[in-house]
Structure 1
Amino acid sequence: MIKVLIVDDDDDVLNLLETWLTKEKYDVKRASSGLEALNLVGIYAPDLVITDLYMEGMDGMALLTELHNDNPLLPVIMLSGQAQIPDAIKAMHLGTSAFLTKPINQNEFLETVSKVSPNLSDKSSFNEFAKSIVFESKAMSDIVEMASLVADNDVSVFITGSTGSGKEVIAKSIHAASSRRDRRFIAINCGAIPEQLLESELFGHEKGAFTGANVRHEGLFQAANGGTIFLDEVGDMPLALQVKLLRVLQDFEVRPVGSTKTYPIDVRLISATHKNLEEAVEKGEFREDLYYRLKVIPLDIPNLAERQEDIPVLAEHFLSDFSKKHHQTKKKFSPDAMRYLVSMPWPGNVRQLINVIDLCATLAKNKNIPFSLVKNAVHDDPVQLQTLKEAKHEFERGYLLSVLRITHGHVANAAKMAGRNRTEFYKLLNQYGIEPAKFRDKNIIEKEVN
């Protein structure tokens, strides 16, 4: 029998909900305050909590936060007779499974409870979610199960793991399994964009906000409205921008650079980092309040070497991908070659494994990939630091893409922002094979022509 804890400071509401739930064969306990509910949780261990939003003392939001500090996956349904739309959005982002307004409709209420309750034991969502991720290990199974349980929910997810471990793969899978799947998934690497551009990229800017801002630019938070935004390497975000991000997550609205207006947003936030943010908080390099706002549901992806069972199935998967992409017969690793792959430390994780497999599949002269080829591909020193030229190339290309997005492909404005003349700027664009026309908004072009 599913155990439900109902929390409200109105006895009439408690009596009504208890009657409805008991008739449907739920095991019900009741509490008249948030503090009483917290005391009962440890004793009763409910499968589901239903709480009012506005209560004396600890309100529903505070109760929700406390509950999820101990059990991030505990389903919570929020009720309110006074709430505005921003309250509902905030509650959903903090991890509520549903938000209902009073007066409560009996059928709607029971349908919502029924919809939330089966997820407690139903494995179908896990099986469906797992189709998009290749794994065999218990460690990844636990990660995938947690991700599948929170996917169809607006709660913020915080993914940690070394570079190349697959953080964005998990983020995309969460989005694809959510109710936002038909809206945009927008990813941005916070460490790859200079601070002065990152604010405009995230929050947008008004025309004339700074040199080169000749058109209004919609930031990524507004562009992702209704969908999901993935902030990769959020640990590299400058402190000044951390303050602004925190305000966005608290108020669910953005104010573009140079604007006095704010715009409401409804986005699901997933963030990731390879850094230890607890240490960064202690050193004063990352805001503690933002850290806890991001880390509602933490997912820590283990290094590939810590889940060796995944290596054979990943290797087979990437070989299949390679053969389909290049229209070749699928190749396979010899037993000793596979054993060697499994034994390697893989400091570059899955990303490094992909590179090695692609190289082996390219160089193999027949269907079988021998041990000697794999060993040469790995070089026994598999991860190479980028050369200065490679790092410079990666930074410059990312920078050029950013200024073109911000200026909507207007080369003169982009060149001015970059501190280059138009001739030099065009040479850089040609060098990196970037076409500014792809960044232009047809509506803006028409306005400029007219």
Structure 2
Amino acid sequence: MMTNCPVPSALVVDDEPNIVELLKITLQGMGLQVSGAGSLAEAHARLSHDLPSLVLSDLRLPDGSGIDLVRYLHNAHPHIPVAVITAYSSADGAVEAMQAGAFDYMSKPIELARLRQLVAQALKLNHPQGMEQDATNRLIGQSLVMQQLRADIRKLARSNAPVHITGESGTGKELAARAIHDSSLRQDKPFVAVNCGAIPEGLIESELFGAEKGAYSGATQSRQGLFQAANGGTLFLDEIAELPMLMQVKLLRAIQERVIRPLGGAREISLDLRFISATHRDLGAMVEAGSFRQDLLYRLNVVQLHMPPLRQRLEDVPQLVEAILQRINGQADQSPTILAEDVLEKLQQYDFPGNVRELENLLERSLVFPDKNILENGNHVAPNRNVDRSFSSVAPKTESGVACTLDSAEADLLRSVLAEVSGDPVAAATRLGICPQSFALRLTRAVTGRGR
């Protein structure tokens, strides 16, 4: 016996009858029941009798703003996705609507392919299986700030709004970006991470937007840029503060108009992307200094997500240590390594200026140099030997204790790897998984004893 599934419905709110009719025809062709409203008052009247599966609303209505309708639905019926329709040049309205809780926006003139895509995504939000993936469990910790962070990510996963992630180096900004993507409707589409500071300035346009054959000297064939590689999914722009001013202008256009033009190309390519950016720098201060565009910051910072430093959630250290050691031992096919309770207590007294990344490095170096650090391979730690020697004088925010242990271990590791590759710093950096500039800086610090 077959059961009848409820037919999805849509409410279209616009004071232009032609727009309402166009949207009705398109949505009915997708199997939706569609009703229209020409004003806020009429929209509220319809909503009082029947709740639709989704709402499409113009921003400018005769008796108010569509943003008021977005706010009402976001507060009273948060399960109903709302998309707003804006004038082609109305960037401010789109940003304000998404900050108020809109799922997405469309610009006039309406592109039917884009409309169908948006509606399909919105309907998935109401489908029982639409949001079954929750990737926030990879963000380890049960502190209140981490519980709130995971809750915020789950909310962000229901939207296409651009997200700007702030926080100190080593707090896990890319991990949060991946969690947003993997918890969202785009989870089966590409996630492309771009370190804006790692691309040479002369190549950044072709790397991001692609290039046609002959666009520049040496361009013997057309090449796809990272924007196209991520199309349909999420583009994560890490270290966004490092973008040169000219590229900031082009990025602004790509985000606002959702199109790109490859270097040397004659046609524009439409995009369906979720933009997530991140930096450890103060973009507001950069705007005031004239090194970052205010309009770009406005477009990127629709929703802000802040990654807390490890010193604000030290109660998570034991759980982080356990997860990191499991990963390291699993990769090295080693027997389990467990920290003694007194070592964990001393770790929780340290302020970790390098955050989770510093904790990871400390544990990895401890396994590389078991005779100099706090760990031994096996099922326990010998507290009377390595523990006391490495952690006898832990003092937050000083050069003693863990900080000195880190510096000493890092210096030994750098010299060891450099010797293994016959003194080639580039090869050493590659083996360690860091850039050559970072390796050179760390090596200088190890030799001179300065830099912390």
Q: Is the TM-score greater than 0.5? A: yes
Quote the residue 2:95 is aligned against: 65
Separation in 1, partners of 2:71, 2:111 = 32
> For residues 165 and 225 of structure 1, do their structure 2 counterparts lie closer, same or farther at Cα, with a shift above 3 Å needed?
same
Quote the offset at 1:209 in angstroms: 1.9
Quote the offset at 1:112 in angstroms: 7.5
Deviates more, 1:285-294 or 1:209-218: 209-218
Mapping of residues 101-250 of structure 1, within 5 Å? 128-250=134-256
Conserved 8 A contact 2:84-2:105: yes
Aligned residue type for 2:36: V
Quote the offset at 1:25 in angstroms: 11
> For residues 395 and 239 of structure 1, do their structure 2 counterparts lie closer, same or farther at Cα, with a shift above 3 Å needed?
farther
Secondary structure of 2:189 counterpart: coil
Separation in 2, partners of 1:228, 1:159 = 14
Mapping of residues 292-331 of structure 1, within 5 Å? 292-331=298-337
Deviates more, 1:32-41 or 1:217-226: 32-41
Matched, 1:368 2:380: yes
C-alpha RMSD over aligned residues = 4.4
Separation in 2, partners of 1:207, 1:79 = 33
Quote the residue 1:378 is aligned against: 402
Separation in 2, partners of 1:356, 1:310 = 16
Quote the offset at 1:130 in angstroms: 2.6
Separation in 1, partners of 2:65, 2:158 = 29
Secondary structure of 2:222 counterpart: coil
Conserved 8 A contact 2:103-2:159: no
Q: 2:267 aligns with which of 251, 261, 273?
A: 261
Quote the residue 2:5 is aligned against: none
Secondary structure of 1:313 counterpart: helix
Quote the residue 2:439 is aligned against: none
Separation in 2, partners of 1:285, 1:228 = 26
Separation in 2, partners of 1:324, 1:113 = 37
Aligned residue type for 1:156: P
Q: Report how many residues are paired.
A: 368
Conserved 8 A contact 2:98-2:104: no
Quote the residue 2:49 is aligned against: 22
Secondary structure of 1:331 counterpart: coil
Separation in 1, partners of 2:180, 2:44 = 33
Matched, 1:275 2:299: no
Q: 2:111 aligns with which of 84, 101, 106?
A: 84
Secondary structure of 1:164 counterpart: coil
Quote the residue 1:13 is aligned against: 36
Secondary structure of 2:314 counterpart: coil
Matched, 1:35 2:85: no
The CA deviation string for residues 221-240 of structure 1, in whole angstroms up to 9 with x for no partner, is: 11111222111101110001
Aligned residue type for 1:209: A
Quote the offset at 1:196 in angstroms: 0.3
Separation in 2, partners of 1:323, 1:54 = 52
Matched, 1:291 2:297: yes
Quote the offset at 1:268 in angstroms: 1.7
Quote the offset at 1:65 in angstroms: 2.9
Quote the offset at 1:174 in angstroms: 1.5
Conserved 8 A contact 1:228-1:270: yes
> For residues 166 and 149 of structure 1, do their structure 2 counterparts lie closer, same or farther at Cα, with a shift above 3 Å needed?
same
Identity of aligned residues (%): 31
Secondary structure of 1:291 counterpart: helix
Separation in 1, partners of 2:239, 2:189 = 23
Conserved 8 A contact 1:191-1:236: yes
